[in-house]
Amino acid sequence: MLLDRDAAVVEVAVELARTTGATLLGLACDVTDEAQVAECFARIDEQFGRVDVLVNNAGTITISTFEELTLEAWNTVLTVNTTGAFICAKAALPLLRRSNGGRILNAASGQARQGFIYTPHYAASKFGVIGLTQSLAKELAKERITVNAYCPGIVGTDMWAYNDREWGRLLGDYAPGELMAEWVAAIPLGRAGTNDDVANLLLFLASPEASYITGQSINIDGGMFMS
C-alpha cells in the first residue's frame, strides 16, 4: 500500500511495483486531512484486512531567515511532518493490532539531533517526531507493536536540490551544487546517502530480526551526527 499526495507519483510507483509481482494499492492522500486518511485506511482494511508496517515518510521543508519565517510556513511544516505522522499512526493502529506485532517507522532527520540555521520549524517538527516515536513505543510495547524513527542526513533527492539552492542563497554566493558538495566533503564516509541506504534500514526495522528494537531514533547519515 502506498499513500502519496501526488497521484502521478502514486501511479508510477504502483506500475514499478507490479513489475516485481507485488500486489499494491496506491492512493493519493493529504496526510494532514484526517478524513482523507481515514478513508484511505478504510480502503486498506477492505483490500488487505491488516497493516504490518506503517512508514510515515511524508515531509516538507522551507528555508528562510527567522525574521522572514511566516506563521503559515511554520504551521505547514509542523502539520505535514509531525501532525501527519500522528494522524496516520492513529488511523493505522486498529489494523496494526491485527498483524500480531506491527511496526511503525517515522521519518525524522539529522535536524532532530541538532537544529540548523534557517530551518527552526523543520527542526522543531522532527524533534516532535522523535517525541511521538518514544511515547508510542512505550504505550504500544504491551501489544508487541514497535515504533522507531530514522534520521537521514544528506540524501540525494529533489528536496536536497531545493535545499542546496535556498541555503546556498542565504549562506553565501554558492553556485548550484557547491554547498552540498562542501557539506558532503565533511561527512566521515565521504558521500551523500542514497534512497537504497535508507530503504535498507527500513527493511531491517520492519523485519522479525528487529523485534527487540523500539523507541529508537537511528541515524543514517554517514557519520554526520554521532549521537
State the catalytic residues: 122
Q: Which residue type is seen at 122?
A: Y
List the one residue out of 162, 135, 161 whose CA is nearest residue 147: 135
Distance CA 35, CA 59 (A): 19
Quick check: 1 and 43 in contact, CB under 8 A?
A: no
Distance CA 103, CA 97 (A): 10
Q: At what angle do helices 120-140 and 84-97 cross, to 10 degrees?
A: 20
Quick check: 54 and 85 in contact, CB under 8 A?
A: no
Distance CA 50, CA 102 (A): 10
DSSP letters of 101-153?
Answer: S-EEEEE--GGGTS--TT-HHHHHHHHHHHHHHHHHHHHHGGGT-EEEEEEE-
List the one residue out of 100, 1, 90, 3 whose CA is nearest residue 44: 1
